[in-house]
Structure 1
């Protein structure tokens, strides 16, 4: 950091909610020239897992990334082949690089996603050509639920899944889902009147848009359905989010075939594009639903530096983390935690939504790519038999 004044720059990533030990140190290098940054990286950056952040000349965090080998990944930004790519543009704007080692690639992946959501660095979420921005597919918004997109996990929702990538594609999917399930997509200022609601005056309620007349909305604004009837559609939509309902696919396929049979090729083309968006959503929902059903256990992850961790997964989400107990005293001290974990896993898994809901996608992708890692998983009640004795043998040797 001798090349830059650090008076107005703040370094570090803050508290790591996935680290059960004392905070890990932050290493920082800085320079006005790329060659200076590269030289310092060669001298000090290790070949271990971790997360890194790029800061611009104002001291703003502009990008966060992770790697199973920090040194290799960071030096790749200086490759001549990347000058015109995203990596080259990021490094051109970088004056300071900081990194935090992590005990494993899995730990680095969780930390990276947490940091992106905490800081929303501009090169992670905007200004990057061809980058697909993550969004959540939500069901909710007030007393008359509808499908909508949110860049972050909202504070109030009926059901949620994600993240998904590609805002344009997801906007098409949301529009189609609201039509298939006949849910409203109007403004929050719209006044709703269900058919069973009493009124002092015999008024004719008119729909706020054409969707009711087109048959793609139940008409909760025009007293065209009861609240119970509308929520039957909401329940079907929620089932789709859980990965158990392929009604939208069937409806769109039938619509596309009908349009093609009637030689309405332009309409068939539009439906085909919509169908592709829904198919992407359904594939992702199916993957997440499988993760929710299968991944409720303790995942033991060894650390390269001896910082081994146990991650509690419930319904596919990371719910808690603890340092792997080594030795009798550490294991006995952890028994209350293991008992608590066992109680948590006895709960339902279909709508967990713990403190880190975004970890569901991470976990699902991780075990899909690293199937053998499932051999490191176990139920809390197996901890003594399967891992405690192994740790004792390791300590004795």
Structure 2
């Protein structure tokens, strides 16, 4: 007998930090065969927005998804036309399905992202044909450098993403470290800056050829001061912020020189690198635009009356609150609105708040759903907007 039926599995998705309405109910259905599992979904799954998770026979979460209509989406996995596709492959490995309704499609989108980051289900990141694993472009560590991470560490100076295509992202990271003359060596490497005092004069040898060819500042051989290295880090951060196209110019110069010297193989490699870095730059520019444009309250009605106000700051979801239902709710919310107004008008804060990963969702959401901008307003407009915005779908 499957382990799923030998013991009561633990299920549920846990706390949702972007849900101001309290925990949502979780439902789960399980069966040993596809037809029984499908019938259970027909009988109990609603046609509302939400997130769902596929569990294998041991009760482990193997896939997370979201939909505007949970019932329609889950039933699509059982369609005959889907047997050889991604959905068919997932459902073959599933022995139970759980779902959690959400008040809106936007809420479901945010919840799906949070769950994938929290649980990293194996079928969300591997084993699915043609799926590219998302990675984040990070700038940080003790002596900062560009690097990739599936889950960015907390000590990063800056993080942007997600990006897709591990191969081209590795090529982009390699180029960015060279253009900004940042190190790319092991974390075990000992670093020495020029201002560090030494008892004896020592001629250090670099750990690689990059310093010799001028693509690294040489923090391992005391070839630069910490301040000089930090200048390069600041330039690199401006690239992440979408304000610096230096890498594109440098690569194009390489292509022009190689072509002029009839070094066509070198020019071809540089052109492939240019494509990878151009992809990164395009997305960074798009995210920078979102940071500049999207600073407001976004009112999202809920199908079940659970309307939500999202504070969008520098393109990120910075805070959430239950939408006021009446004048008394609005009165109690006034101190929070004053805090939100101060956040939006601050000249110091520029994003990278508690939920920086939501930037890509917000940027994509308003690019595809331009009409939703009509549901946005400044905190000082809340008194005029709350009733209509909170109750009109």
Instruction: Return the offset for 1:226.
Output: 2.2
Deviations 1:132-152 (A, max 9, x none): 11111111110x211111111
2: CA distance, partners of 1:349 / 1:78: 51
Q: Helix, strand or coil for the counterpart of 2:356?
A: coil
2: CA distance, partners of 1:60 / 1:324: 35
1: CA distance, partners of 2:46 / 2:78: 17
- 2:144 equivalent to 1:145: yes
1: CA distance, partners of 2:134 / 2:47: 29
1:143-292 equivalence runs, <5 A: 144-292=143-291
- 2:374 equivalent to 1:371: no
Partner of 1:24: 24
Structure 1-normalised TM-score? 0.94
Partner of 1:382: 381
Partner of 2:313: 314
Q: Helix, strand or coil for the counterpart of 1:5?
A: helix
Deviations 1:271-301 (A, max 9, x none): 1111111011101101111111111110001
- 2:63 equivalent to 1:58: no
Instruction: Return the offset for 1:6.
Output: 7.2
Instruction: Return the offset for 1:391.
Output: 6.6
Compare 84-93 and 348-357 and name the one that shifted more.
348-357
Instruction: Return the offset for 1:95.
Output: 0.7
1:2-41 equivalence runs, <5 A: 5=5, 7-41=7-41
Q: Which runs of 4+ in 1 moved over 6 A?
A: none
- 2:86 equivalent to 1:91: no
Q: Helix, strand or coil for the counterpart of 1:214?
A: coil
Q: Contact 2:30–2:95 at 8 Å: present in 1 too?
A: yes
Compare 19-28 and 307-316 and name the one that shifted more.
19-28
- 2:120 equivalent to 1:120: yes
1: CA distance, partners of 2:72 / 2:37: 14
2: CA distance, partners of 1:211 / 1:163: 28
Q: Helix, strand or coil for the counterpart of 1:212?
A: coil
2: CA distance, partners of 1:71 / 1:208: 58
Deviations 1:93-117 (A, max 9, x none): 1110111111111000000011111
1:49–1:201 distance in 2 versus 1, CA, 3 Å: same
Deviations 1:286-332 (A, max 9, x none): 11111111111100011112211100111111111111101111111
2: CA distance, partners of 1:354 / 1:152: 16
Count of aligned pairs between the two proteins: 390
Q: Contact 1:141–1:157 at 8 Å: present in 2 too?
A: yes
Q: Contact 2:4–2:58 at 8 Å: present in 1 too?
A: no
Partner of 1:356: 355
Q: Contact 1:242–1:350 at 8 Å: present in 2 too?
A: no
Structure 2: any 5+ residue segments left out of the alignment? none
Partner of 1:72: 72
1:157–1:79 distance in 2 versus 1, CA, 3 Å: same
1: CA distance, partners of 2:294 / 2:385: 18
Q: Contact 2:53–2:65 at 8 Å: present in 1 too?
A: yes
2: CA distance, partners of 1:161 / 1:271: 24
Deviations 1:248-293 (A, max 9, x none): 0111111112212211111111111111110111011011111111
**How big is the alpha-carbon RMSD for the aligned residues of Structure 1 and Structure 2?**
1.8
2: CA distance, partners of 1:256 / 1:176: 14
Instruction: Return the offset for 1:4.
Output: 6.5
Q: Contact 1:327–1:391 at 8 Å: present in 2 too?
A: no
Q: Contact 2:343–2:349 at 8 Å: present in 1 too?
A: no
Compare 342-351 and 263-272 and name the one that shifted more.
342-351
Q: Helix, strand or coil for the counterpart of 2:211?
A: helix
2: CA distance, partners of 1:228 / 1:24: 50
Partner of 1:330: 329
Q: Contact 2:375–2:389 at 8 Å: present in 1 too?
A: no
Partner of 1:346: 345
